[in-house]
Structure formats: structure tokens, C-alpha cells
């Protein structure tokens, strides 16, 4: 059974929040097949420990504003890999080096990628 509409909605709220704090290389994965307890993962990269913490904080704030509380939070003190569990979705915010090392996309390569609805950024100077 694919991820629920609600999980996809929450995934997109989290993705927009991460994007607003300069989160990079955002990937949504539908994990509902192999994981019965979570519908989707959002994987995000931050470019420093401070950025990782800021991204995670913004994701929590925006999902709370949408009526979703954080069930579990891990790794905030180090700012290298912060895991945020919201029930239907889990958000992984990585420092660049840690994301390459743990390679969650490779671990979950059989899971379908969920297209994310992100704002278009003007790259002109």
C-alpha cells in the first residue's frame, strides 16, 4: 500500500520548511512497503552543524503549525544527523559528510521516490 495522502502532505510541508532554511538535496521516499510503522522518509542535507539544527527546528515548527507533534527526536545536540519522528513520516537531516557515510538512499533504494513540491528559486544574480 503506498504512502497515504496525509503522509505525502506532511512530507511536502517538511520539505518546504527544510528548503526555506537552505536544506539541500531533498529526497522523499515512500517507505510504506518495507516499514509498516512509517509511510515516508524525508532526507535532507545541511552544510554545517548549525544549518542542520536550523533545518530540523524549522521542520518541527512548520509541522507543529500543521497540527503534528514530534514523537521522537534524536541527534539534535551534535548537529550531524538529526532524526525527527512524526508518526506518518520520519525526517533525517544530515551534515554533508554523514549523509554520504550513511547513504540512506542506497539502503532504501527499493523504495519509490516521492516527488516533492518545492518553490522555484531564482538563480539569477
- pLDDT attached to residue 16: 97
87: CATH = 3.30.460.10
Note whether residue 66 is domain-resident. yes
Task: Tell me which residue range forms the domain holding 76.
Answer: 5-114
- pLDDT attached to residue 45: 97
- pLDDT attached to residue 120: 79
Characterise 10 by phi-psi region: left (phi > 0), alpha (psi -120 to 50), beta (else). alpha
Note whether residue 50 is domain-resident. yes
Cα angle 25, 91, 8; round to 5: 85
Residue stretches of the chain with pLDDT short of 50: none
The domain tally of the chain equals: 1
Note whether residue 119 is domain-resident. no
- pLDDT attached to residue 104: 93
- pLDDT attached to residue 60: 98
Note whether residue 121 is domain-resident. no
Burial class (CB in 10 A: 0-12, 13-18, 19+), 24: middle
Note whether residue 123 is domain-resident. no
| Helices vs strands, H then E, count in the chain | 4, 6
- pLDDT attached to residue 125: 57
Closest CA to 112 of 33, 53, 44, 18: 33
Amino acid at each position: 500500500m503506498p504512502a497515504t495522502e496525509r503522509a505525502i502532505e506532511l512530507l511536502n510541508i517538511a520539505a518546504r520548511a527544510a528548503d526555506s532554511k537552505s536544506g539541500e538535496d531533498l529526497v522523499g521516499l515512500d517507505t510504506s512497503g518495507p516499514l509498516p510503522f512509517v509511510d515516508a522518509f524525508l532526507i535532507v542535507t545541511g552544510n554545517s552543524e548549525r544549518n542542520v539544527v536550523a533545518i530540523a527546528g524549522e521542520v518541527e515548527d512548520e509541522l507543529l503549525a500543521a497540527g503534528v507533534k514530534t514523537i521522537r527526536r534524536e541527534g539534535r545536540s551534535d548537529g550531524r544527523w538529526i532524526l525527527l519522528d512524526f508518526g506518518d513520516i520520519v525526517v533525517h537531516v544530515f551534515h554533508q559528510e554523514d549523509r554520504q557515510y550513511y547513504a540512506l538512499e542506497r539502503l532504501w533504494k527499493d523504495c519509490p521516490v516521492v516527488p516533492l513540491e518545492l518553490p522555484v528559486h531564482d538563480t539569477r544574480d
